[in-house]
């Protein structure tokens, strides 16, 4: 999986194993707790039925999000966990992997997103929430960060085959070319030109406070810097701002808020009056604006680093030329 969304998903799973972790086979592993907190950390393949049995056996177990493992407290936790894991492994179909390989040989799934490995099937797709959610329903499927792919054991081939049409379609729609095509189809040049003017209609009798972060439907959280005196007469421009019922309207001129301005803003619980075109910034709006500001800052740093690198290369090249 290749884009930023997939990196976020992988980042939650791509963590070093706890110290002392020992694999028990079939995707199970255990690691000791600490002297201060005796117990055992249990890693296991994701399967809803398996998880239900685990919780039934270990009702005091707690999920450790940072470690992506279950913590079972108690001085005898390791022995109890090992006994439970041994029962689960013994209950697996001993010929399940062979059956899956035979089923694949008889009716193979041919797809650029699927690779048949000796130990498991490997699924690599562009990031898609639908793909992730669907693969999580496949018994014993697990994300493998070292190869950046989902590993599906052969015993789960039939379940993967049943869900493959959903996975493949979601992956195809998530290809960069498909995403670009949808963006181009949804483009509205007139609306984009209006957006670049950084203005927004607001009620003359109920304008937003100047210099404070507020939210508008079309641009998100912004800061208004000035208001026109004359009422708006451009009916074509107003068509790009549907849903504003209050009037008469004037143009308000806005800019993107800074990080300190967002930090000082107290979020509102919900939009109080969307019909007037603006409302106090909500938590969701502030978080979205913060995310975009961080993305812009990272992009600027990347471009500056590339420019600095090119400048250094030119200086080095000039210094290496014979005189």
Give the whole-angstrom CA distance, residue 318 versus residue 63.
Answer: 58
Give the whole-angstrom CA distance, residue 278 versus residue 207.
Answer: 8
318 found inside a domain: no
Per-residue pLDDT, averaged over 67-84, amounts to 90
User: How is the chain split among helix, strand and coil, in percent rounded to 5?
Assistant: 45, 20, 35
Considering its fold, how many domains does the chain have in total? Answer: 3
268 found inside a domain: yes
Per-residue pLDDT, averaged over 247-251, amounts to 85
- Residue 114 contacts residue 123 (beta carbons within 8 Å): yes
Give the whole-angstrom CA distance, residue 2 versus residue 7.
Answer: 7
Give the whole-angstrom CA distance, residue 118 versus residue 121.
Answer: 8
Task: State whether 194 and 175 are in the same domain.
Answer: no
321 found inside a domain: no
Which pLDDT tens digit goes with each residue over 131-167? 999 998 887 788 888 889 998 888 889 989 999 999 9
pTM over 0.75: no
Task: State whether 196 and 275 are in the same domain.
Answer: yes
Task: State whether 77 and 152 are in the same domain.
Answer: no
Give the whole-angstrom CA distance, residue 15 versus residue 196.
Answer: 42
Whole-number Cα distances in Å, 160 to 65, 136, 193, 222, 225 = 27, 11, 46, 46, 55
10 found inside a domain: yes
Question: Which of 179, 204, 223 is the C-terminal boundary of a domain?
Answer: 179
Name the strand (E) or helix (H) holding 200: strand 199-203
Give the whole-angstrom CA distance, residue 226 versus residue 254.
Answer: 7
| pLDDT tier at 113, thresholds 50, 70, 90 | very high
- Residue 138 contacts residue 159 (beta carbons within 8 Å): yes
Is residue 124 exposed (0-12), middle (13-18) or buried (19+ Cβ within 10 Å)?
Answer: middle
Question: Which of 179, 206, 234 is the C-terminal boundary of a domain?
Answer: 179
297 found inside a domain: no
Q: Is 199 helix (H, G, I), strand (E, B) or coil?
A: strand
Query: Residue 148 is part of which domain span?
Result: 111-179
Which pLDDT tens digit goes with each residue over 182-221? 888 777 787 788 888 899 998 888 889 999 999 998 889 9
- Residue 254 contacts residue 224 (beta carbons within 8 Å): yes
133 found inside a domain: yes
Task: State whether 175 and 214 are in the same domain.
Answer: no
């Amino acid at each position: 999986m290749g884009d930023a969304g997939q990196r976020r998903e992988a980042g939650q799973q791509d963590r070093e194993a706890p110290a002392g972790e020992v694999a028990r086979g079939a995707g199970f592993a255990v690691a000791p707790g600490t002297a201060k907190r005796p117990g055992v950390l249990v890693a296991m393949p994701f399967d809803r039925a398996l998880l239900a049995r685990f919780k039934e056996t270990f009702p005091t177990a707690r999920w450790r999000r940072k470690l992506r493992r279950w913590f079972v407290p108690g001085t005898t936790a390791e022995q109890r966990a090992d006994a439970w894991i041994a029962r689960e492994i013994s209950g697996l179909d001993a010929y399940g992997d062979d059956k899956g390989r035979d089923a694949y040989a008889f009716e193979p799934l041919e797809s650029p997103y699927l690779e048949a490995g000796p130990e498991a099937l490997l699924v690599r797709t562009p990031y898609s929430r639908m793909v992730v959610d669907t693969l999580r329903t496949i018994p014993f499927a697990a994300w493998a960060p070292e190869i950046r792919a989902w590993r599906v054991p052969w015993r789960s081939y039939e379940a993967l085959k049943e869900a493959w049409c959903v996975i493949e379609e979601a992956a195809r729609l998530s290809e960069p070319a498909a995403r670009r095509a949808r963006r181009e189809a949804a483009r509205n040049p007139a609306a984009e030109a209006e957006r670049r003017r950084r203005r927004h209609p607001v009620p003359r009798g109920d304008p937003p406070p100047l210099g404070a972060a507020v939210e508008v439907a079309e641009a998100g959280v912004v800061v208004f810097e000035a208001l026109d005196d004359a009422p708006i007469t451009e009916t074509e421009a107003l068509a790009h701002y549907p849903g504003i019922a209050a009037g008469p309207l004037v143009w308000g001129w806005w800019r993107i808020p800074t990080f300190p301005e967002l930090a000082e803003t107290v979020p509102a619980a919900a939009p109080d009056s969307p019909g007037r075109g603006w409302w106090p910034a909500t938590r969701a709006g502030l978080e979205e604006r913060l995310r975009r500001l961080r993305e812009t800052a990272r992009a600027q740093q990347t471009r500056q680093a590339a420019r600095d690198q090119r400048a250094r290369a030119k200086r080095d090249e000039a210094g290496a030329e014979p005189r």
